[in-house]
Amino acid sequence: MSTGEVLMVSVEEHYESLLSDVYTWLMGGFDEAKRSNLEFFQNRNITPSSSGIAFDLGAGSGFQSIPLAELGFNVTAIDLSQKLLDELRSNSNNKSLVTINDDILNFRDHLSTNCELIVCMTDTITHLKSKNDALTIFQNSFSSLEDGGTLILTFRDLSTELKDTDRFIPVRSDENIIFTCFLEYECETVKIHDIVYIKKNDKWELNKSSYRKIRLSVEWVEKQLSNIGFKIEESSNRNGFQTIVAVKQS
């Protein structure tokens, strides 16, 4: 690689080579993430009321899929990372949960009837390659939901640019792992450089990899959802994460 050139890999390769091994740890561990997501759904009265079919787009290790299955949904969990889907499977004994290794842009291929709930949470939507792909997910969600069905998105609004050293984010560290993120802003995207030191045999080893996220503003997402025909029931921000709950009006 020539000097100064940044090796940019696909999202799938990034998770394979770096992120999937530490993802659950990075998010505070499975039990805590499961607990907070269960609380998230319970606070919003998200329980099966018609078909009970739910799709989890970008399910990862199951922080949403497993609480939803426990709440009684028949969950289809889709993700590009087989490692994270294997982790999801080992976190769950629930038989009403199906895992599928595929791009979320193909989620309708796995749908035999309209569903009651679609979730795409913790920034999965910003992992797509373009705003057009995000729009495709919104449109396909609308056409795949039952009347009265719900789409839940949670994502970081990366439209406002951080400057200088504020672009270094200390994500998590303990005595064995130090995970830092560096953000490089582009017009439509942000290059995310993940820098991980892992202690092995008393020596720190560096693993680094970069991928892109798209910059979606809350206003843009709300406007697209409304244009498609969704009613926005909630749009709120907590700890930098935007939650949008959109309902397909009958």
Ligand X SMILES: C[S@@+](CC[C@H](N)C(=O)[O-])C[C@H]1O[C@@H](n2cnc3c(N)ncnc32)[C@H](O)[C@@H]1O
Among 53, 104, 190, 192, binds ligand X (CB under 6 A): 104
Of 113, 144, 11, 125, which is closest to residue 57 (Cα–Cα)? 125
Total residues at interface with ligand X (CB under 6 A): 21
Using CB positions, name the residue nearest to ligand X: 60
Nearer to ligand X, 90 or 226 (CB): 90
Rule CB under 6 A: which of 4-43 touch ligand X? 11, 15, 27
What SS3 state is found at 46? coil
Q: Is 81 in the site for ligand X (CB under 6 A)?
A: yes
Least Å from the CB of residue 64 to ligand X: 6
Nearer to ligand X, 195 or 250 (CB): 195
Nearer to ligand X, 129 or 208 (CB): 129
Percentages helix, strand, coil for the chain (3-state, rounded to 5) are 35, 35, 30
Tell me 129's DSSP state.
Answer: S
State the Cα–Cα distance between residues 206 and 178, nearest whole angstrom: 10
Name the residue type at position 143: S
Q: Is 116 in the site for ligand X (CB under 6 A)?
A: no
**Could you tell me which residues come within 8 angstroms of residue 214 by beta carbon, excluding any fewer than 6 positions away?**
126, 128, 129, 130, 131, 134, 158, 188, 189
Among 18, 53, 58, 244, binds ligand X (CB under 6 A): 58
Q: Can you give the binding site for ligand X, defined by CB under 6 A? A: 11, 15, 27, 58-60, 63-64, 78-81, 84, 103-104, 121-124, 127-128
